[in-house]
Structure 1
Amino acid sequence: MKKEVFALSMMAAATMAHAQSSVTLYGRIDNGIQYETGLPGGHAWSAQSGDWGCSWFGLQGSEDLGGGTKSVFQLEGQLNTMTGASAGNLFGRHATIGVTNDKFGLFKIGNLGAGELAQDSWGTDPQLMQRYAISTLVRGRNWTSTSNGAEYNSPVLFGGLVLKGQYSLTNNTHWNSAPVNSAGVPTGQGRTNAVEGIYTWGGGDFRVIYDEVRGADGSFNNVYSASRMVLAGGTYNIGPVRLYAGYQHMSAPSATNASMGVTDASQPAGVSAPTTVDHEWFGAEWQATNATAVTGAVYHANANHGNGNATLFTLAATYALSKRTFVYMEAGYVHNSSTSNINLGNGSYGNNNFNPVTGTSSNSNPNYGQSQTGVFAGIMTMF
């Protein structure tokens, strides 16, 4: 009898838990067409997945633990929806579990992935981190990812302030360095950590982000991928117009040509690996109608050690077909000074080393001092 009562109690508890839990499948698909000039060897038409934003799918859920506390989880992976291939690990963007409470905030642990706080810089970007946007002139530094970590988000404080903090480990005996391979050499990304503050009020918002991403050897040896970064920016609403402005500074005191993957001979005269980059931008979004939004923005970056500067001009528009589907387009033009060769696609640092005989190149950067122009259009749907 006691066993039967116990079994019935467990079944009832399971039923209650199921009723208080939720799991949601979600995702989005972004496909389009792109045309760019100034590439090594000429221009190119291409079909692209993710020019406006990455395509992904995921699962997220919660369970009511009582007393206003819930357990939460998220699993999310990125896709190339032009080929159907997974872009990285199955749940490379997010794989976390945590607890949340309106009074005490959110704590989660696991693969923070695309949740690395530098990616929150989209909130200061007029183009919302499209292909031609805040990450272009810093060669993708805002797309930093991190794993083996923990994150805390505070509840709303002092009327409109939210604080975030992250700390990620490398899971080896070398505290700041990446795990070593079979030859005993550190390989991959070193330790990361980040903090962020976001203040929101009726007319807009302001945020500050500071993060540290170390290279394989634990040092800051590539200003575009293993560096210290501080970013400050925000928005302000005036009727149907939202204004944006921001500033970003990156520092990698240990950067050398070798650590950034280039040779001395491939660099222009008087140019060596940058150790600092300063980046500023401003722009505006105009909600022309309920369905139509138009955005324009200008970005400017300057790198030290003779690397010069680049300016990016952008113009974009979206048109909502429904609550979940919209079409988009964006045009971008990047102008490089004589010793700069930044491209429109977050390309790596260094000479393109174009070989006209084979038609091959090391990257998609233009020649030094040359510009690039691009335009893309596509459709995004969410589920």
Structure 2
Amino acid sequence: MKKVVLTTSLLAIAAAAQAQSSVTLYGRIDNGFQYENGLPGGHKWSFESGDWGCSWFGMQGSEDIGGGTQIIFQLEGQLNTANGQLAGALFGRHATIGATNAAYGTFKLGNLGAGEIQQDSWGLDPQLMQRYAISTLVRGRNWSSAANGFEYSTPNLWGLTVKGQYDVTNNYNWNQASSPTGQGRTDGIELVYDLGPLELRGIYDEVRSAAGTFDNVYAHSRSIMGGGTYTLGPVKIYAGYQHLNAPAATDATMNVGVVGTAGANPAGVTAPTSVDHEWGGVAWQATPAAALTAAVYHTNANHGNGNATMYTLAGTYNLSKRTFVYTEFGYIHNSSTSNIDLGNDGYGNSTDSTGAIVGNNPAYGHSQTGVFAGIMTAF
């Protein structure tokens, strides 16, 4: 009898411990096909992983330590599911530990990775940061990442939530990276005000170069963004504005003409130090399974770099709670001194030894058109 009592007690303790902690394995896979024209080499068909959103896998968990507080962790890595390879470090997207309490907020520290605060701009993006979306006309600036950091988010205070981040460099110089190829100090703050159908969002962040400066408006710069969404039944309206600033940007720091001799900017054009970006769009949940989104994005860069406008139309259809199919069309019109492409590629045109343009950026003043379709499932 004593043996039975002891076994029952142990089972009860184990069950209680299980109820107080949890670990969840999760992930998603996104694969599809893509067609784009207006490329330097003409047009291209390709198989793509992550046109709607990145493929990833991870684990997250929590442990209740009492008083309404939980210890939390998250480990997450990105995959290229077109070839089965890792897209970056094993847990390059997230590697954090922290604590959360409904009354006091949430604190995390570690590799914030893809949780860098600028990536929250998906909340202002009609196309939810697909391939043709809020990052395209700023050449991937909104995909910033950060390591060696900590983050604090307040609880919801009468509709207002504030999040702050700070990331150090582990170097003697506070702003500079510890290696010439690293990233300097980053930091940022976000405010979200939820008023029911109206949601307002503002984000400010700084991403420094290895030298600790703002030397590339599309990579190492200050960004301030603001906008909102308004929901009317099945329709959601989006509008937003972003300003980028990099006062130390030069042709050299933005790698103008590094490859070959014909990669220089057009006559009278130098590296931009300021970019203005605005957009608007509408998402319509046509049926419980089907949604359509249309959006327009426009950008203008200083120092003669001109402007570009992108038009997008996208749709999704849910096959189940976990799986949906998607498609998106995008068209970029560049002014005579602009050469932004659909693929979030860097500034300028590089050339090979013959002077031919290499990469995906079009010739200056040329347009690009693209369309992709695929399927995503989550687990």
Shorter-chain TM-score bucket reads over 0.9
User: What is the aligned partner in structure 2 of residue 166 from structure 1?
Assistant: 165
Paired amino acid for 1:77: G
The gaps in structure 1 that reach 5 residues or longer are: 1-8, 181-185
1:221 aligns with 2:220: no
User: What is the aligned partner in structure 1 of residue 366 from structure 2?
Assistant: 370
| Of 93-102 and 263-272, the range deviating more from structure 2 | 263-272
The 2-side partners of 1:227 and 1:116 are apart by 14
Residues 281-303 of structure 1: per-residue CA shift (max 9 Å, x gap):
00000111110000000000000
- Residue pairs, 1:299-318, within 5 angstroms: 299-318=297-316
User: What is the aligned partner in structure 1 of residue 291 from structure 2?
Assistant: 293
User: What is the aligned partner in structure 2 of residue 61 from structure 1?
Assistant: 61
The 1-side partners of 2:185 and 2:211 are apart by 10
Paired amino acid for 1:368: Y
The 2-side partners of 1:11 and 1:75 are apart by 30
Please tell me whether the aligned partners of residues 40 and 358 of structure 2 are also in contact (alpha carbons under 8 angstroms).
no
How far off is 1:12 after superposition?
Answer: 7.9
Paired amino acid for 1:208: G
1:117 aligns with 2:117: yes
The 2-side partners of 1:209 and 1:85 are apart by 33
Find the residue that maps to 1:142 and give its secondary structure: helix
Aligned residues: 368
How far off is 1:16 after superposition?
Answer: 3.8
Paired amino acid for 2:76: E
How far off is 1:10 after superposition?
Answer: 10
1:31 aligns with 2:27: no
User: What is the aligned partner in structure 2 of residue 382 from structure 1?
Assistant: 378
Find the residue that maps to 1:121 and give its secondary structure: helix
The 1-side partners of 2:93 and 2:343 are apart by 20
User: What is the aligned partner in structure 2 of residue 260 from structure 1?
Assistant: 254
Structure 2 vs 1, CA of residues 285 and 356 (structure 1 numbering), >3 Å: closer, same or farther?
A: farther
Paired amino acid for 1:370: H
The 1-side partners of 2:352 and 2:319 are apart by 42
Residues 89-116 of structure 1: per-residue CA shift (max 9 Å, x gap):
0000000000000000000100000000
User: What is the aligned partner in structure 1 of residue 199 from structure 2?
Assistant: 205
User: What is the aligned partner in structure 2 of residue 242 from structure 1?
Assistant: 236
One of 251, 269, 292 as aligned partner of 2:245: 251
User: What is the aligned partner in structure 2 of residue 144 from structure 1?
Assistant: 144
Find the residue that maps to 1:211 and give its secondary structure: strand
Find the residue that maps to 1:108 and give its secondary structure: strand
The 1-side partners of 2:87 and 2:164 are apart by 27
> Aligned Cα RMSD in Å?
1.8
One of 265, 268, 271 as aligned partner of 2:269: 271
Please tell me whether the aligned partners of residues 155 and 162 of structure 1 are also in contact (alpha carbons under 8 angstroms).
yes
Please tell me whether the aligned partners of residues 49 and 80 of structure 1 are also in contact (alpha carbons under 8 angstroms).
yes
Paired amino acid for 2:183: Q
- Residue pairs, 1:88-127, within 5 angstroms: 88-127=88-127
Q: Using structure 1 for the length normalisation, give the TM-score.
A: 0.93
The 1-side partners of 2:61 and 2:121 are apart by 26
Residues 205-228 of structure 1: per-residue CA shift (max 9 Å, x gap):
110000000001000000000000
User: What is the aligned partner in structure 1 of residue 134 from structure 2?
Assistant: 134
How far off is 1:187 after superposition?
Answer: 2.4
Structure 2 vs 1, CA of residues 40 and 289 (structure 1 numbering), >3 Å: closer, same or farther?
A: same
The gaps in structure 2 that reach 5 residues or longer are: 1-8
The 2-side partners of 1:356 and 1:316 are apart by 39
Q: Using structure 2 for the length normalisation, give the TM-score.
A: 0.94
**Percentage of identical aligned residues:** 68
The 2-side partners of 1:147 and 1:16 are apart by 36
Residues 166-193 of structure 1: per-residue CA shift (max 9 Å, x gap):
000000101101113xxxxx32210000
Find the residue that maps to 2:282 and give its secondary structure: strand
